[in-house]
Chains A and B, each alone.
Chain A
Amino acid sequence: MSGTPAGYGIEALDVYAGSAAVSARAVFDGRGLDPRRFDNVASDRRSVALPFEDPVTHAVNAARPLLDRLAPADRDRIELLVTSSESGIDYSKSIASYVHRHLGLPPTCRLLETKQACYAATAALQLAVGYLAGGLSPGAKVLIVSTDMSLADERARYAEPVTGTGAVALLVGDRPRVLTADPGAFGVHSFETLDSARPGPDLDIADADRSLMAYLECLSRSFADYRSRVEGADFATTFDLLALHTPFSGMVRAAHRRLMRELYRSPADAVAADFERRVAPSLVHPGQTGNLFSGSLYLALASALDHARLDGPARVGLFSYGSGCSSEFFSGVVGPEAAAAVAEARIGPRLRARADLDFAEYTALLAENTACLRPAAHRDVDPARYAALLGRAADRPELLALTGVRDHHRQYAWI
């Protein structure tokens, strides 16, 4: 193989969204939330971690099936591993260091953890594509894994039923079967604000109104920046499909409606038809997991590829938003082969195979899960305690599990 690569982007994608889930309706009813607001949520299930799961196990359990499908020679070319997370386990030691070990990646690999709320994976992707296109190490691959734990409980009110947990793995390189990035086609908008944050290992804070206003403004401004860089770009006609960061589907619907109204003064029925055609395919998988933080956009992309019918090359517009805040609108090209590549991950069947929890089982797990990110010098975790629950997940693959902490060192085993 020689010559200049045709492009750079995502070669493969895989997802781990837990082995258990609870219905959003059960959480709504169990918490006594206003049932009239359920339609706004428009979510089916929320993925739930088991107490032997943490950001490391999520990341490894998302990336391992992807690596298992890879030829050994390709696997050896992974020269950078980035984990993106807002669920840090240490101020200094990265999640990536554990993930590198438990995935058995080559020692000739840079390790890095990134943080910028739900934007962090996109920042890593854009930097990786730029690095690869720089040609410093021809044929190199980058593995980016976004991984997060939910801390949402009754304190999160209406965000609780739609906050998920899980990880999305992206393999980035010069044979981009899933998404070929449009070189130089991006627009960015960032400014400091406190809309949501995680100031402690067991505390999420969020201002729903400020966060929504920031998301809407960022979509509008980052697309304006994109348009200033990409001649002739038009939101309504340039993109055959759209995938947006999906905290919950109502947010995505509102963002699409706002931009269509702002740019074209489109009437409501035209906006709704456009939404069904270009956006709705991206919301199917996210509706089965809840918000996966910086993996959310890439789960939406996978959903679009799993559910839209592609007869030939198509352009996807992607919008990433991370509280705090930083955002980006960018684009890439997909095609029938992209759908085939994503189908290999069997995301839909694996989401359906998770154990269904009732509300009481769910709240009991929530209480245990709050220990997940809290620093502890020593801790014991016995995955066998959850064997019955895990047994309800159909055809589950071998999973990496946290078995404890010894002198601050996290211990893991395959179960």
Chain B
Amino acid sequence: MNGSAESVPGTDSAEERVLAVLRRTTLEIVPEVDPALFTPDRTLSDLGCNSIDRAEIVTLAMEELDIAVPVHEFHQGMDLAALAAIMRKQL
């Protein structure tokens, strides 16, 4: 395990794509984030993103993937794997 999103067992290629987009948008919105910390078991809060950063990262990722996740699917404290899973469903 090298900690990258791509090496996680149990994720399919679509989910890997979502994680890659989330990783890119995270680094775009919060450039201070250490890319090595971006692992599916961490939350965006763990990476130091505040509530506004989190909303912007998710919004940007949805725009990039051209999807709309229903608001009720989001909740506080989701790790990146859970976030990727609800986005993956809309692909």
The chain A residues found within 8 Å of chain B, CB to CB, are: 36-37, 40, 158, 191, 193-195, 207-210, 212-214, 216-217, 250-251, 253-254, 257-258, 262
Contacts and interface: CB of A to CB of B under 8 A. Distances in A.
Interface in B8-45: none
B32 to A, nearest CB: 9
A214 B53 CA distance: 15
Query: Size range of the interface on B?
Result: 10 to 19
A195 B74 CA distance: 9
Main secondary structure of the interface of B (DSSP, over half): helix
Contacts of A209: 51, 54-55, 74-76, 78
A340 to B, nearest CB: 35
Contact of B75 (A37, A207, A253): A207
A210 B72 contact: yes
The 3 A-B pairs of least Cβ separation, nearest first, read A212-B55, A40-B50, A254-B52
Contact of A37 (B50, B74, B76, B78): B50
Contacts of B54: 209, 212
Given A208-B76, A209-B78, A213-B58, A251 B52 contact: yes
Contact of A258 (B51, B56, B72, B78): B56
A217 B71 contact: yes
Nearest to B68: A217
Contact of B59 (A37, A194, A210, A216): A216
Given A207-B76, A209-B76, A254-B56, A214 B71 contact: yes
A36 B76 contact: no
A309 to B, nearest CB: 29
Contacts of A158: 50-51
B48 interface: yes
B52 A210 contact: no
A258 B76 contact: no
Contacts of A195: 71
B25 to A, nearest CB: 13
